[in-house]
Amino acid sequence: MHARIGMIASFAGCVLLTFAATVPAGAGLGDGPIKIVDGVPPGFEVVRVTNEPVRSTIPVINDLSEVVWATRIGDTISDIYRFSNGLVEKLTDDTTFDAWPTTNNASEIVWIRCPIPVAVPCDILATYSEGPIHGDFPLLSGHAAINNAGDAVWGYPIPGEDGHKEIALFRRSEGTVEMVTNVGLNNQQPRMNDQRQFTWTRFNFDVSPWESTIMFWSDGQVTPVSSGTSQAQGPDLNDRGQVIWGEGLEILLWDGLKTTNVTENIGAASSPRINNAGDIHFGLWNTELGKWDAVLLRGETLYRLPDFGLSDGQGSLNDRGELAWRGGLDPGADSNVVLLRRVAPKGDMNHDCHVDRIDARMMQICHTGPDTGPPGGLLAQCTRADFDGDSDVDVSDFELFLDAQLGPGMTIDDCEP
């Protein structure tokens, strides 16, 4: 079932670079100082995908600029949503508890499904499968990770052993599931790349205070990446085998040989993500405002992104340099999905570098009438319909859209889909 949700609008648009500062050399991955900029990278814009009083899971974005997330209402309703080609779709219904989706570049989605009322264990489902993919290793909570081949990993709770989780691996090409760790501790938060390498956090709750180690798996070989005597967690990795994680409000990166403190002299940080270009996203604590800012570190420039005054900054990053994150008034409270995306020409609603009949239909969905834009501004689907920048979509915008329309097969000059 795919229920399309109309009237999704967008706010932000391109934000001017308004502030710049520098921090000493030693921060980041380069040799020079990091320049901190309040704004967005050139050619990008920040828009809000949702603006509803619901709690969202951390959104995941793929290289097609598709974003998936789940919204949770109370303890019984959780559904999967996808933002794709300029529209938001609801992919599940309220008869099951569906949560923690992740997606790959084939638009395939893996998520967990629990019965209502919520009970465990829960199924691990994939859009390319007619049934659960977990074999004998279902999931209690948390999420699975998927790569572009459709392989998946997750933390499997050992029955009857409280706090004991091992890592299970689904190999799509073979159709097999195996438990790849067996250490008697709490293994969770896995992330996997296209080389079928993965990283995760191994928690030891048998000591007080608890400790954890970031682990790395490659071709059956397991390597501890962090010291094991700290509270490291939330790792990610890219196809180069670089592993990044949060530890003591710092972001650390391991390249197979050495570990680098990415946020030295920058400030308190958490929840990092890294792409194949080496761009890094994380949440940076804003002492003045008392909230987490979403930031993007690209080379020696750190962009503190516009966030509508929301806090959190937990998100994901694709290889196009686009970023989707969750922002709320308070961590764990109701939240919106926010998106840093490439700028597209006005009228090109689905960013395919054409202005055609598909875009015309989406323009109609976005119509608000004069001076009647939604509270908080237009959401992500509709900012490209606002030709004159007055926060509504009315007759003047439709007239400008007609001027922008192209003939069949014609492509907008200098446009990158």
The band of 12, judged by pLDDT with boundaries at 50, 70 and 90, is: very low
Q: With cut-offs at 50, 70 and 90, classify the pLDDT of residue 293.
A: very high
Q: Is 295 helix (H, G, I), strand (E, B) or coil?
A: strand
Report which of 405, 404, 382, 380 is spatially closest to residue 392, judged by C-alpha positions: 382
Is 50 exceeded by the pLDDT of residue 5?
Answer: no
How far, in Å, CA of 68 to CA of 339, rounded? 12
Q: Residue 357: which H helix or E strand, with range?
A: helix 357-366
Alpha carbons 133 and 83: distance in angstroms, whole number: 24
Question: Exposed/middle/buried for 375, CB within 10 Å: 0-12, 13-18, 19+?
Answer: exposed
Find the largest Cα–Cα distance for the chain.
68
C-alpha to C-alpha distance for 263 and 256, rounded to whole angstroms = 19
Question: pLDDT at position 372, please?
Answer: 82
The answer to whether residues 281 and 339 touch, using CB atoms and an 8 Å cutoff, is: no
pLDDT of 379 strictly over 90: no
Q: What is the pLDDT of residues 66-89, one digit of tens each?
A: 999 999 877 778 999 999 988 899
Considering Cα of 348, then 352, then 355, then 357, what sign does the dihedral take? negative
pLDDT, position 330:
65
Cα gap 93→51, rounded to integer Å: 20
pTM above 0.85, yes or no: yes
Phi and psi (nearest 5°) for 402?
-60, -35
HSE-CB at 251 with a 13 A cutoff on CA atoms is 29
| Token output for 354 | 């054409």
User: pLDDT for 88-137, tens place per residue?
Assistant: 999 998 888 999 999 999 999 999 998 877 777 889 999 999 999 999 99
Any idea which residue has 């079928």 for tokens? 196
pLDDT tens-digit series, residues 190-204: 999 999 999 999 999
Pick the closest to residue 339 from 69, 38, 5, 23 (CA basis).
Answer: 69
403-408: list long-range contacts, CB under 8 Å, 24+ apart.
Answer: 404/345, 404/346, 404/347, 404/355, 405/347, 405/355, 405/356, 405/359, 405/360, 406/354, 406/355, 406/356, 408/356
Question: With contact defined as beta carbons under 8 Å apart, do 96 and 116 qualify?
Answer: yes
Query: Does the structure show a pLDDT above 90 at 229?
Result: no
Spatial CB neighbours of 138, under 8 Å, sequence gap ≥ 6: 120, 121, 122, 123, 124, 132, 156
For residue 21, name the pLDDT band (cuts at 50, 70, 90). low
**What domains are defined for the chain?**
3-342 (2.120.10.30), 346-417 (no CATH)
pLDDT tier, 53 (very low <50, low <70, confident <90, very high otherwise): confident
Query: Which residues are CB-neighbours of 180 under 8 A, at least 6 positions away?
Result: 166, 167, 168, 169, 217, 220
Tokens 């293994």 identify what position?
A: 187
Average pLDDT rounded to a whole number, residues 150-166: 92
Q: Do the bridges between strand 34-38 and strand 301-304 make them parallel or antiparallel, or are there none, so unpaired?
A: parallel
Buried b (16+ CB within 10 A) or exposed e, 318-334: bebbbbbbbbbeeeeee
Cβ neighbours for 29, distance < 8 A, ≥ 6 positions apart: 253, 260, 262, 278
**Whole-number Å distance between alpha carbons of 201 and 341:** 30
Task: Classify each residue of 165-193 as buried b or exposed e, where b means 16 or more C-beta atoms within 10 Å of its C-beta.
Answer: bbbbbbebeeeebeebbeeebbbbbbbbb
Residue 273 has pLDDT above 60, yes or no: yes
Average pLDDT of span 237-257? 97
Mention every residue, 6+ apart, whose C-beta is less than 8 A from residue 313.
270, 271, 282, 283, 284, 292, 293, 294, 295, 307, 325, 326, 327
| pLDDT, mean over the chain | 88
Q: Average pLDDT, stretch 390-405?
A: 91
pLDDT digit string (tens) for 37-50?
Answer: 999 999 999 999 99
